[in-house]
Amino acid sequence: MINNNTVLITRPNDDPVLNFLYFWTEEVVKEARKRRYNILDLRGNKSNRKNLESYINKSSPSLILFNGHGTSSSICGYNNETIIELFVNDSFLTDRIVYARSCDSAAKLGAKCKAKAFIGYIWNFVFYFDRSNVLHPMNDKLAERFLKPSNLIGTTLLKGKTANEANNRSKSLMLKNYFEMVSSKGLYEEQKVASFLWGNIAGQRLYGNSEAHI
């Protein structure tokens, strides 16, 4: 039985790139907390396959939000451990709504698993950041242009909206950011990396039931 009041989040933090995702995910965790969801927060080294499978078996979350490295058929956790892999343990995603903020994982895993709905990327998920902000990821306004729209997927789903709405709202914000970045109002550095935001827009895919919601 799927538990509509439970959300599971993975957010390893064992390298600087993941550390950005770790901190930016806090925004989604706050939204879940505000809405009184039961939050299974697999942070840091808790993002491993054993914990993931155990928590899903025990609490059966309706929504799973992955942060981590990925391939076309898998998603990784802490220390690059593969925690979900197509044809190995993808059944843990069955009938759940999934968002994977990881490279490539929508290409095969998202397309073929039996998640109720799966939102992810069919190629690299890319973002830029200022190297002076590595220790303070939340201060990075450039990273915000890329990461805020991806957070919107999670927060929209947590509000009970459909997967289609979450996907569209995220893409709309990315487009808004893109056009602001390339406009004359955009900072020089924003203008130069805006094309990479388009890559995220074009590569973001929704599979499964677009009307699915928690």
Partner 1 sequence: MKPQPKSKKILSKTSVKNKDFEEQLRELVVARLSAIPNNLQMAVGSSQYTIEELIESVQKGDEIGNQLVELQVQYLKDLASGEIYKELDDKQ
The pairing of strands 97-101 and 82-85 is: unpaired
We find the least distance from the C-beta atom of residue 21 to partner 1, in angstroms, to be 9
We find the least distance from the C-beta atom of residue 178 to partner 1, in angstroms, to be 8
- Report the distance separating Cα 25 and Cα 138, nearest Å: 10
We find the least distance from the C-beta atom of residue 57 to partner 1, in angstroms, to be 28
We find the least distance from the C-beta atom of residue 167 to partner 1, in angstroms, to be 8
Nearest to partner 1 of 5, 124 (CB atom): 124
Nearest to partner 1 of 61, 70 (CB atom): 70
Site residues for partner 1 per CB under 8 A? 15-17, 20, 69, 76, 80, 103, 122-132, 142, 167-168, 171-172, 175, 178-179, 188-189, 192-193, 195-196, 198-199, 201-202, 205-206, 210
We find the least distance from the C-beta atom of residue 172 to partner 1, in angstroms, to be 4
Contact 7, 62 (CB under 8 A): yes
Handedness of CA 68, 64, 170, 21 (dihedral sign): negative
Nearest to partner 1 of 2, 193 (CB atom): 193
Contact 82, 74 (CB under 8 A): yes
Nearest to partner 1 of 6, 67 (CB atom): 67
What is the per-residue DSSP string for 157-188? HHTT--HHHHHHHHHHHHHHHHHHHHSTTS-H
Nearest to partner 1 of 59, 164 (CB atom): 164
CA dihedral 48→73→89→19, nearest 10 degrees, is 20
